[in-house]
A and B are shown apart, each in its own frame.
Chain A
Amino acid sequence: MKRNTGLFLFALCPLIPATAKFSYALVMAAALFFFFFAGLFFREIVKKIDGGNSGSLLELACLAGASALFVSVMHAVYPILAVTLEMYVYVAAFSFVLLLSVDSFSYRSINVPPVIAFIPIMVSFAAVRELIGCGVISLPTHSGMLEVPVFERFGFSVVRFWGTTGGALILAGFFTWLFRLLVSDRGAGGKQA
């Protein structure tokens, strides 16, 4: 898993621009949920039909079909958002975090799959990013997005930087460092006790 961290993070990069808005993050979260449960469903079907060596390829083909299905529904429900998010939904269907979660999920284990843990982080990150960068929270609607102003004065350039992709990457790096610091401190404290 440690060797795959770089690939793991690289696979998530397309989600940085896709989560520029809270409304986008909600749609991407729904997509990841759908793909995760669809992946589990197809995994069971492939086991039943005994896919053999080509079983993983069949699972990927089914995930491609599931992504086409989700995009079709997205076109119907949120057509304007579909114009911008279509590509990212297709990419998310093949993201490493999703495939890892589907492959490693076990009904007997109580571990939370990585994608299920990732979704609330992604949604809250998008919310914080939009609040800090734009001072609004957006919600998806049929004709685009509804922007609810929260901090009226936010919008001048210094603060707006944190709503950009560059600002989001810096924030992500900062919070990753903070998380690892807290985890390593907790581990060191446990060992000493």
Chain B
Amino acid sequence: MSMQRPVSQYLSSVALVVSLVAVAAGISFLTKRITEETFRVSVVHALSGKDKPAVVVKPIRPKGGSSMSYSRVFAVTYPGGKSATAFLVSVTGHSGPFSALYVARPGSEAVFSGLVGVAHPDETWRYGLTDRVIESWAERVTAVAGKYGEEK
């Protein structure tokens, strides 16, 4: 004789999982603005500063079909009106993963613009990132950047 479970048990199970996901989505929604602002400021800091032009950075929505690796995309506007697309990606070298910034101008290859969130953003050797790893990611970002064109 098979024992059928009450519907309430199934509903409780579903409700538990759904509530967890809802709480996670809620936190993500509530903190979206501060998170985006932190990313924006970090990208501005990486691209601007001594001997570098001041830039205006704006987060943009990733294009459909991009993997999670390319989910942080920014529209960059330089003095004089030139624009580019910046990608914040996780690059893994000999010493583990680090956040790296790549900037791609329309029709050009992506260029590595430094690590984000570390004390020595231009000294990639300190963090186990070789030139080959940097170049490999530049090629990948160039392929993805082709979808974005010129963003304002």
Contact = CB atoms under 8 A, between A and B. Distances in A.
A134 to B, nearest CB: 7
B5 A52 contact: yes
B96 A18 contact: yes
A17 B38 contact: no
A143 B35 CA distance: 10
A65 B24 contact: yes
A101 interface: no
B13 A145 contact: no
A142 B95 CA distance: 22
A62 B20 contact: yes
Given A62-B20, A83-B88, A76 B128 contact: no
B116 interface: yes
B16 A58 contact: yes
Interface residues of B, number: 39
Given A84-B98, A147-B118, A164-B95, A69 B24 contact: yes
B73 to A, nearest CB: 12
Interface stretch (A43-51, A109-117, A181-189): A43-51
Nearest to A50: B9
Contact of B96 (A17, A42, A144): A17
Interface stretch (B26-34, B77-85, B132-140, B141-149): B26-34
A162 to B, nearest CB: 10
B17 A144 contact: no
Nearest to B92: A17
A61 B17 contact: yes
Given A65-B24, A79-B38, A80-B42, A145 B117 contact: yes
Interface in B114-140: 116-120, 126, 128
Contacts of A39: none
Contacts of B119: 136, 145-147
A40 interface: no
A80 B117 contact: yes
B95 A144 contact: no
Interface residues of A, number: 49
A147 B27 CA distance: 29
A17 B21 contact: no
B39 interface: yes
B113 to A, nearest CB: 15
Nearest to B34: A76
Interface string A63-102: 0011011011101100111011111100000000000000
A68 B120 CA distance: 31
Nearest to B120: A147
B9 A144 contact: no
B57 to A, nearest CB: 15
A144 B115 CA distance: 10
Interface in B81-109: 88-90, 92, 94-99
A116 to B, nearest CB: 23
Question: Among A58, A61, A69, A71, which residue has the most Cβ atoms of chain B within 10 A?
Answer: A69
B95 A51 contact: no
Contacts of A87: 90
14 contacts: A17-B92, A17-B97, A61-B17, A66-B20, A72-B27, A76-B27, A76-B35, A80-B99, A84-B98, A133-B95, A142-B38, A143-B41, A143-B42, A164-B94
